[in-house]
């Protein structure tokens, strides 16, 4: 006696076959962005707890907020790596949100300019990788009729 749960399990497992290089590259870049956010959040927490910021409470809450925000690209990267169709949306959103952050970093001057340019280049690369028809097909996203 067959139930509908078999189809749900197959859909959750993602498409079969080898992972295209585009999906792997997008997953890695998205994970690097998430790890960078997580590192910034940990740094902010350490400064808030052990350092002497102007407002320790604000530094601690900022660190926790950045750590929470790091979860989105990290979860999206894992989903892309496993070829889950739902992961494309969160990764695209992460890249779109990265542009104003990159602009702010570039306008910050000094070493932040390089960080802003790197972030913008990574965001453009991931967007290009994920909107490609090969990538959408590999994630099991069919074109609309």
Token output for 14: 């993602």
Half-sphere exposure of 122 (CA within 13 A, CB side): 25
List Cα–Cα distances, 75 to 38, 58, 79, 90, 105, in angstroms.
12, 26, 6, 8, 24
Would the pTM count as exceeding 0.75? yes
Between 8 and 107, the higher pLDDT residue: 107
Question: Which pLDDT score is estimated for 12?
Answer: 54
What average pLDDT does the structure give for the chain? 87
Question: Which pLDDT score is estimated for 10?
Answer: 45
- Is residue 7 pLDDT above 80, yes or no? no
- Is residue 8 pLDDT above 80, yes or no? no
Residue range 68-127, pLDDT digits in tens: 999 999 999 999 999 999 999 999 999 999 999 999 999 998 989 999 999 999 999 999
Single out the residue of 86, 93, 85, 84 nearest to residue 30, CA to CA. 93
pLDDT bucket at 1, cuts 50 / 70 / 90:
very low
């Amino acid at each position: 006696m067959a139930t509908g749960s078999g189809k749900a399990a197959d859909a959750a497992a993602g498409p079969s076959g080898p992972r295209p290089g585009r999906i792997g590259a997008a997953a890695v870049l998205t994970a690097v962005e998430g790890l960078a956010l997580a590192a910034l959040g940990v740094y902010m927490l350490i400064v808030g707890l052990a350092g002497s910021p102007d407002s320790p409470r604000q530094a601690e809450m900022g660190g926790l907020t950045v750590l929470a925000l790091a979860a989105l690209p990290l979860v999206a990267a894992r989903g892309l790596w496993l070829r889950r169709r739902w992961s494309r949306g969160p990764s695209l959103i992460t890249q779109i949100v990265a542009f104003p952050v990159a602009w702010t970093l570039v306008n910050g001057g000094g070493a932040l300019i390089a960080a802003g340019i790197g972030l913008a280049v990574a965001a453009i690369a991931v967007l290009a990788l994920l909107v490609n028809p090969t990538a959408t097909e590999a994630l099991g996203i069919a074109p609309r009729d």
